[in-house]
Each structure stands twice: as structure tokens, then as C-alpha cells.
Amino acid sequence: MTETMKRIVLAERPNGAPRLENFRFEQVAMPEPGDGEVLVRVLYLSLDPYMRGRMDDVKSYAAPVEIGATMEGGCVAEVIASNSDRLKPGDIVNGMFGWASHGVLPANQLRKVDPDVAPVSTAVGVLGMPGFTGWLGLNEYGRPKAGETLVVGAATGAVGSMVGQLAKIYGLRVVGVAGGADKCAFAVNDLGFDACIDHRAAADASALRQQLAAECPDGIDIYFENVGGKTLEAVLPQMNVAGRIPICGMIAWYDLGGLGLGGGDGKDQLPKAWRTILVRRLSVNGFIITDHYDRFPDFLKEAGGYIRDGRLHYREDIAEGLEAAPQAFLDMLKGGNFGKQLVKIGEL
């Protein structure tokens, strides 16, 4: 066994958009597992938008990453040493080992992954936290009904693609919003969406609103919120009475240092949004997926079945090597990924 491991730490907090200088690559001593703990070597690291919030020292639903600490992240890993009866060397597990080549955690904080069900990388993607987030948010807060219309932002990402495909399985009309013609084509041709609009080709929220109106002639019943920004501004006026908006993320605003519905003209859009919520009697629900893991077995049973019978598809964007994680993360925040963003760190 090697005596050292690699990791990437938060070197400094970003001011606005993150930069490569905010991260630092380190080689440190290999940790040793204590009682009830296991040592693993990481196979895949998941990169997710929530990590941007962890870089800021602000009050939120989870503590920020400390300066000099390993960047947080979910991983698929292989157990290489165990002091627990729960797991043995060779087992594949899912846990929060962070941006690192190895890690130690208590066995009771890990989920065992069955490599025979699907490729192990899916344990941090379509069959992991992102897929579960889409399933839970849609079913618990979207409350979909056959015949309704759903719009989802970041439509080809790990969460958005799950939401849209499930909605089609449930009998809804699904319109995605994505960045680029290739992503929109993938949403329609591979994921089965009814339509997908390229937000990069829309000059502003007004142009995007017109395209959405054409694709949603009966209005919008569910908007699954992943992005905020001009997509939300375009969607809100077209929400039907008693519509539902599950709020999963707001990636368009993560670098602003604060949240608001500021439009392109710089005016405060919150009063208009608040009034729309009132007069359309909308249900707007924020949710944090860690509050709902008692539902994970139900998700895994349903989504796993859809993968096996070919109704659920996924795409992965894999960067090679731990050193590639910072740039892949920065690119993802700007929509540069195509599918679930992973970093491959070790071979199975």
C-alpha cells in the first residue's frame, strides 16, 4: 500500500466566479482506519453545483469547507482495509470522501454498491444523489399528473435528465431548457423530451419566454428549478393556476454573493415574482435532499427498474485524474459539461 495520498483543498475563498487559484493540490500521509472505519481508494468523484456554495463562508444548510480542508464531494470507492464487520476489502461503496485519491469513514456512513446492477459510476449519478434529487423533487413537490406540462432547466444534467424522463414515463408533456443545440438534440432524440430550447440562442428572458410559449400552448404546470436567472424570469408568467415549482438549485446566481430576481435591466424582479406566486396560487418548495434519505430505497427500486427495462437513459462526462477536478468543476459551473460530471480517479 502506498504511504501517501493525493487531495485537493480549498486554498482561498472565491470573490465572484471561482478560479483555479482557489484550489491547491497536495500529497499527504495516508490515513489509517480506526474502530468501525474503512480505508478506501476512490474510483469516481462526483462534481456537483452545490459545491460552489460550500466554498463561501456564509450561513447555509451545511457548513462551508474550511480553508486548507479537502473539497467536499460524493465518491464511489473500493474498500482496501476494514475495521468493521459491515464491509470487507474489495467491497464497492458510496460515501463523502471528497476530492481525494483515498479516504477513511465509519462503515455506517457508507452505502454498499452492487456492481452487477449498473456501472459503479452511476452510484454518484443516475442511481445516486443527483438522480434521487430529481425523483424526490418531482414526486414530492412537483406532484405530476398525466397530461400536464413540465419545464425543466439544465435539462441534460444529472438532475434535469432524471426529472424530464420520469415526467415522460408519468405521461406529461416535457419541455427542457439547455445550453447548446447539441444538448437540446440529445434531450429530444435520446431522452425523449417533447421539445428543448437552447437558452444560449435566446437573447434575453423575453425571447426565451416567447419560445416557451410556443412549446407550452397550455401553459406550464410544473417548473423544476435548477438554474434561476432568465429561465425563471421567462417561466413565471406562464405558470398555470395551482402550478408547482420545486426549487433544487439556482446555478445562474451562485457567483453573485447574494440571491435575487434581478433582470437584465438591473431592476428588482422580486415584487413581480411574489405577485405571480400569489395570483396563480403557486406552490413553491425549496428542498434539501439530505432531509429525505428515508425514501432512497423507493427511488432505487423504481429508477433501477426503468434502467433495466430501457426507459431511463443517462450520459456521463468523465474527466481523467484528480488533478483535472478543478478545471472540470469550473467548466461545469458554466455549462461546459454534457451529462453527469465525474472525475475518474482509480480503476476498478
Per the prediction, the chain carries an average pLDDT of: 93
CATH number for the domain harbouring residue 34 = 3.90.180.10
Least confident of 225-239, 247-261, 306-320: 247-261
Report the percentage of the chain scoring pLDDT > 70: 95
Q: Over 90: is that where the pLDDT of 257 sits?
A: no
pLDDT band at 264 (very low <50, low <70, confident <90, very high): very low
Range of the domain at 33: 4-124+315-344
Residues linked to residue 91 through DSSP beta bridges, in sequence order: none
> Could you tell me if residue 15 is inside a domain?
yes
Residues linked to residue 344 through DSSP beta bridges, in sequence order: 44, 320
Say what the pLDDT of residue 299 is: 97
Mean pLDDT of 162-190: 97
Examine the domain organization and report whether 178 and 118 are in the same domain: no
- CA-CA distance, 324 to 332, in Å (whole number)? 12
Examine the domain organization and report whether 278 and 330 are in the same domain: no
Q: Which residues of 143-169 are buried (b: 16+ CB within 10 A; e: fewer)?
A: ebeeebbbbbbbbbbbbbbbbbbbbbe
> Could you tell me if residue 308 is inside a domain?
no
> Could you tell me if residue 295 is inside a domain?
no
> Could you tell me if residue 301 is inside a domain?
no
Q: Over 60: is that where the pLDDT of 1 sits?
A: no
Higher pLDDT, 61 or 88: 88
> Could you tell me if residue 172 is inside a domain?
yes
Say what the pLDDT of residue 253 is: 72
Examine the domain organization and report whether 120 and 133 are in the same domain: no
Mean pLDDT of 113-123: 94
Examine the domain organization and report whether 150 and 18 are in the same domain: no
Say what the pLDDT of residue 271 is: 82
Convert the pLDDT of each residue in 288-316 to its tens digit. Answer: 999 999 999 999 999 999 999 999 999 99
∠ at Cα 34 (29, 38), nearest 5°?
80
* Residue ranges in the chain assigned as alpha helix (H): 50-54, 129-136, 158-169, 181-189, 205-215, 229-235, 270-279, 296-308, 325-333
The domain total for the chain is 2
Examine the domain organization and report whether 116 and 134 are in the same domain: no
Examine the domain organization and report whether 256 and 329 are in the same domain: no
pLDDT band at 258 (very low <50, low <70, confident <90, very high): very low
> Could you tell me if residue 298 is inside a domain?
no
> Could you tell me if residue 300 is inside a domain?
no
Mean pLDDT of 217-242: 95
Helix (H) or strand (E) holding 42: strand 37-46
CATH number for the domain harbouring residue 225 = 3.40.50.720
Examine the domain organization and report whether 135 and 269 are in the same domain: yes
Examine the domain organization and report whether 63 and 136 are in the same domain: no
Q: Over 90: is that where the pLDDT of 117 sits?
A: no
- SS3 assignment, position 105: strand
Q: Over 80: is that where the pLDDT of 263 sits?
A: no
The pTM score is 0.89
Least confident of 78-92, 246-260, 331-345: 246-260
- CA-CA distance, 266 to 40, in Å (whole number)? 49
Examine the domain organization and report whether 35 and 120 are in the same domain: yes
pLDDT band at 32 (very low <50, low <70, confident <90, very high): very high
Higher pLDDT, 203 or 130: 130
Examine the domain organization and report whether 203 and 272 are in the same domain: yes
> Could you tell me if residue 302 is inside a domain?
no
∠ at Cα 193 (229, 134), nearest 5°?
60
Examine the domain organization and report whether 194 and 281 are in the same domain: yes
Examine the domain organization and report whether 185 and 253 are in the same domain: yes
Say what the pLDDT of residue 62 is: 82
Convert the pLDDT of each residue in 75-113 to its tens digit. Answer: 999 999 999 999 999 999 999 999 999 999 999 999 999
Say what the pLDDT of residue 24 is: 98
Say what the pLDDT of residue 104 is: 98
Q: Over 50: is that where the pLDDT of 259 sits?
A: no
- CA-CA distance, 167 to 134, in Å (whole number)? 10
Say what the pLDDT of residue 267 is: 61
